[in-house]
Structure 1
Amino acid sequence: MSLINQNEMPFRTLKVRFASSFKQLFHFGWEQALSCLFPVVIFASLAITQIVSLPILPRYDWLLIIFLLMQWLMVYFGLETKDELKVITLFHIIGLALEIFKVHMGSWSYPEEGYFKILGVPLYSGFMYASVASYLCQAWRRLKVNLVKWPSFLIVVPLAAAIYLNFFTHHYWVDIRWFLAVLVIVVFWKTWVTYEVNGFQHRMPLALSFILIGFFIWIAENIATFLGAWKYPNQTDAWSLVHLGKVSSWVLLVIVSFLIVASLKQFKERKSI
């Protein structure tokens, strides 16, 4: 009997560990899903308005109204704070500026009609960038994110600015995205992000989190283009998969987003001390 029990012990230990890991994964997925509430509304709205033709206003304008209403509801019900709203609004402006430039350069287009457009770019497009900031703010709070060995602001701010400006300057000059990517790895080599899931703390290299978020945004981009949110030149006649190389662009954009959110969070924490 004792021999049987001894043989069963490793199996029971493995079973307990598996159950615990599955429970952690479930809670992590649930918190992630809650943090993605705004992006989910965006994709649902894109899908519904693609299938159902809404009256009076063009589709792009209805999307703007829906996203504005959703943003108001997020703040009204306390899902986002007023400080987070300021960050999200900043991302809306940053994203809209980038969209106007990229559409002007022919990188992609918004072929449908709309009253609320600026230089061919519908105003709702800024919310797709703002939704990334919304996710970061939500996940930061829900998972109790903390940064270990965060670099100096004197390094972080110029790096974020350089990454953002490269989205513009590479049309006229050398594309230095890979140099910037290497620089990010060097700067954040020792930086870790810690997060809490169901009372247990975990950690991950910050650079790895950039890659994972960027990859999932690329997947979301494929869904968005399929639903007609915007179109790349090669998708004009028929939808096709967005080139995998776009992952690098999204990773860099995620880095800019994260650096802005993290810097503001760090600044607020220091101010409260």
Structure 2
Amino acid sequence: MLAALDHHLLDDSARAGLRGWPRFAMEFLYFGVKEARACLFVGLFFGAVLLVPRAGVLGLPRYDALLVLALGIQAWMVWSGLESWDELKAVSLFHLVGFALEVFKVSGSIQSWSYPDFAYTKLWGVPLFSGFMYASIGSYIIQAWRLFDLRIRHHPPYWMAVLIAVLIYVNFFTHHYLGDYRWYLAACALGLYARTTVVFRPLDRERRMPMLLAFVLIGFFIWLAENISTFWGVWRYPNQLGAWSVVHVSKWSSWSLLVVMTFTIVAHLKHIKASIHVPEQ
């Protein structure tokens, strides 16, 4: 059924009879369906986050159960051909990058947030399943690239994109000691991607949107997911230990910058790089 759905979604046959509001409604519908389909890993993983009780499953602590489920989902996606081995390597890199950041953020000297529950698969206070929260962002971008037949116009030179991505990641660590340069980096990213456009196909015609808008929108939905996860007590910020409160809106900017970094990793996959246009210097 999933293969049939993908075949239908990838069909770009012209719908000549669609015009005006009916076309807008149909394209909006297909855009939503493709977005939902691209979020397959995200949906299954966060569905597990919401459904697995805090007491665990069959004697297995919650964090350990989530790790088993995340590994199962990832293995199924590769086995079914929804992700290739090369894409799995990129997703694994997201996992490692995210896990390293988590270890730093929950360390005794930083304590930006914490994972309060017991787990057998905790290392340095961080449950291993947490890396999949970052890997899910990469999985979404990879799936969306295929389903929307994405192409990128006026992408900045790769060395510049890599440099700003590395600096964004480093700032997540160094801002605790050297000051937060997030907005300076955001300004640099704004300049780099100001001309960059995403070309996508929700139905049978190509549409365009600024790359920067895509970064901000994805960051917003990650921020929403973070609010849901903290509400369910998967992890907690210090100000949420007594009673839950909305995650500060400043985290939206942090997630948007993280999406820039994630996109840069995905953009180096061979089959994706072929659809990215970098202007001649």
Quote the residue 1:94 is aligned against.
Answer: 97
**Contact 2:55 2:61 survives alignment (8 Å):** no
Give the letter aligned to residue 175 of structure 1.
D
Larger Rg computed on CA atoms: 1
Among candidates 188, 204, 208, match of residue 203 of structure 1: 208
Quote the residue 2:14 is aligned against.
Answer: none
Quote the residue 1:167 is aligned against.
Answer: 172
1: CA distance, partners of 2:27 / 2:160: 35
Instruction: Report the identity percentage.
Output: 47
Aligned-residue Cα RMSD (Å) equals 1.6
| Higher share in helix | 1
1:197: Cα distance to partner?
A: 1.4
- Trace 1:74-153 onto structure 2 (pairs within 5 A): 74-104=77-107, 105-153=110-158
2: CA distance, partners of 1:131 / 1:269: 23
Q: Judging changes above 3 Å, is the alpha-carbon distance between structure 1 residues 265 and 147 closer, same or farther for their aligned structure 2 residues?
A: farther
Quote the residue 1:21 is aligned against.
Answer: 24
In structure 1, the gaps of 5 or more residues are 1-14
2: CA distance, partners of 1:145 / 1:266: 11
Q: Judging changes above 3 Å, is the alpha-carbon distance between structure 1 residues 51 and 96 closer, same or farther for their aligned structure 2 residues?
A: closer
Deviations 1:125-178 (A, max 9, x none): 000000000000000111011010111112111111000000000011021100
2: CA distance, partners of 1:53 / 1:156: 42
Partner SS, residue 80 of structure 1: coil
1: CA distance, partners of 2:188 / 2:77: 36
Quote the residue 1:39 is aligned against.
Answer: 42
Number of corresponding residues: 256
Deviations 1:31-58 (A, max 9, x none): 0001001111122111111377412221
2: CA distance, partners of 1:53 / 1:62: 7
1:263: Cα distance to partner?
A: 2.9
Quote the residue 1:238 is aligned against.
Answer: 243
Choose 75-84 or 94-103, whichever is displaced more: 75-84
Q: TM-score, normalised by structure 2?
A: 0.88
**Contact 1:218 1:247 survives alignment (8 Å):** yes
Q: TM-score, normalised by structure 1?
A: 0.90
Partner SS, residue 116 of structure 2: coil
**Contact 1:108 1:233 survives alignment (8 Å):** yes
2: CA distance, partners of 1:71 / 1:266: 20
Q: Judging changes above 3 Å, is the alpha-carbon distance between structure 1 residues 178 and 268 closer, same or farther for their aligned structure 2 residues?
A: closer
**Contact 2:86 2:269 survives alignment (8 Å):** no
Answering whether residue 254 of structure 2 is matched by residue 249 of structure 1, we say yes
